[in-house]
Every structure is written in C-alpha cells, then in structure tokens.
Amino acid sequence: MTEEQSLEILEHIAAAYDHFKLSEKRVNVWSEQLKNMDFKGVLHNLNKHIGTKKFPPTIADIAAKLPEKNKFLEEQKDWRQEVQHARASGNQKTFMDYLSPDIKAKYQPLIQEEK
C-alpha cells in the first residue's frame, strides 16, 4: 500500500469517527504498518468495521495481508516452458533424462528391471 492509500484509510476513519484525530505520529505509525498490506482488503475490512462498531479500529482490526506468491507454481511454469522449448527444437528427452545423476544411480536397479 502506498503512503497516499494509507492516508486515505486514515481519512476514512477520521470521517467516520469524530474522536479519531490525525496527528503526524499517528500517520507515521499507521503508514508503517499498512505499507505491507493490501489496500482493497484493508478498505473492505474498514467498511465492515464502520458498519458494526462504534469505536475506531486498531490496525489489527482492519489488517489485510497481501497474498504470498506461490513459488512452486512459478517454477512449474518455467519448467514447462523449458520443456516446450526443448521439444520444439527437436530435443525429445524423457522424464529420466531430467533426473540428476545421483537419483539415476540410486534407482538404476529399478530402471533396469522395467526394461
């Protein structure tokens, strides 16, 4: 979340709760905490809070963490692209060809049994 978005959240709270006063210290503390959060999620949580609570929220009341990227899926996508590129260039390797030498050596007796 940007500093402008953090300020928008604070202004939203101040508009809904008369006794929520903005100060430089409050803006700094909230901005620091909100910077790693999802703006839309925080705004959604804030609107829910305003509709049900008579006191202003704490940061924890409206927190909305950014979803973490799934590195496994990204690696899987990269691997598939590499395989497609290799196949397009005429390389017809099998699954076994992509195994590391130590894995191949470990399972060599099983591989030979299948042949």
- The structure tokens listed for 86 are 């290799």
Pick among 1.10.10, 1.10.287, 3.20.20, 1.10.8: CATH of 3-62: 1.10.8
Give the pLDDT confidence of 73-115 residue by residue, as tens digits: 888 888 888 878 877 887 777 777 777 888 888 888 776 665 5
Give the pLDDT confidence score for residue 113 in this predicted structure: 61
- The structure tokens listed for 30 are 């909230």
C-alpha 7/C-alpha 9 separation (Å) is 5
What is the phi/psi pair of residue 37, to 5°? -115, 160
Instruction: Describe the crossing of helices 3-16 and 24-34 by its angle, rounded to 10 degrees.
Output: 120
Give the pLDDT confidence score for residue 83 in this predicted structure: 79
- Give domain limits for the chain: 3-62, 71-114
Give the pLDDT confidence score for residue 5 in this predicted structure: 97
Contact status, residue 9 vs residue 34, Cβ threshold 8 Å? yes
Give the pLDDT confidence score for residue 86 in this predicted structure: 78
